[in-house]
Structure 1
């Protein structure tokens, strides 16, 4: 099937195979390194495997030394079966055109919160705080400059897009200043922890639980594309949205972007 499982080969079979493979077939061994190894008498994978690791490290690099040890069956890099959960989740974009109205910033911030909240739920985490930041174009010398950020603590940790959006818009209202041409906005979900480690807050009003609704939104957007289901706060036309005319189509994840053959 075009796949060779080295683990199924005996030591003699593996040595014979390595003896037939040129050293430049090893990952990370380019033309210059191939020439240098040839000068050391190393032209095959077998010769590289049998080389002195200390010599390889001195003459080449610690990375190639690890390769030599890996060829000998010694694991040098631990593999992560599951990527660790993120401690912060950010969503931030530059606008396709500058915006001056607060309503446009509110739509952008709401859209970024929705993206970040989806990632938050995907790793089954909750956020204890939301950061919002906005800024003008620092490279535009003719425009007045302004940038500001704010962190909004939450009374209860959540992954609910509605609650996170409410907090983010509350923060945006306090840092927004009229009279500026804003070029970028972003949000960050902070102080994350597992949804299994929920701490109650004394005297705090119980927040509405909408896990079923959030699940429906996530499933619909995963199946039919991001933004299929969204909050009204995200807007519709979005003149501020980043220009994406030249973006590479998502052939492997979006049905509507599959190439057509006539």
Structure 2
């Protein structure tokens, strides 16, 4: 490589900051197969999944396969997209089900139409980080229900004392609804979350969901942003001089 080309490339590189690593969207079946998601100093791993009407693809959860009746909704792990995002003090995991779940009870006041699946994962703050998991919230869900239908998301948190679950639900027939839930954590580095997402309808009822988010509040100082490589003070002048020499050589050859 010629000196001018090398210096020009160096200058461009020096002017560009390192880009931060951002976790990409991935489907739950890939995560169940062993992939992980990392957002800054937080990693989501150990994903497990089991649908009431599907085959066991978890490698860990017991298979509960039941026969589905017409109108029941089976869910496959490949239908659930998982993304992560963060602010200076939080990290979030969002699950999006596509196509969205929507069930309707029909034909019998006693035979329920349902959806029901388990969804587990582990969240871990890197050992090299000073931050900890201080609290967690479940919300931003679009679950719905009408009549006596019920739509519900529950996450049990393994290994903590006190209140150890999160729940959001729609149960209009019972007069209950809860769109968000939060609990404090004991400033820990890692926790297991054991989730169940379910809906139940009878004749004339509806229920469903397509997305929800779990957000972790982190205590401690966030990792510093990527550093920008400083440009040496004399580099722009040096580049200008080299360009001038090149123009002079071309002029003499003409």
TM surpasses 0.5: no
User: TM-score category by the smaller chain?
Assistant: under 0.3
TM-score, length-scaled by structure 1: 0.23
Structure with the higher fraction of residues in strand conformation:
2
TM-score, length-scaled by structure 2: 0.24
Relative contact order: is structure 1 or structure 2 higher (C-alpha 8 Å, sep ≥ 6)? 2
Structure with the higher fraction of residues in helix conformation:
1
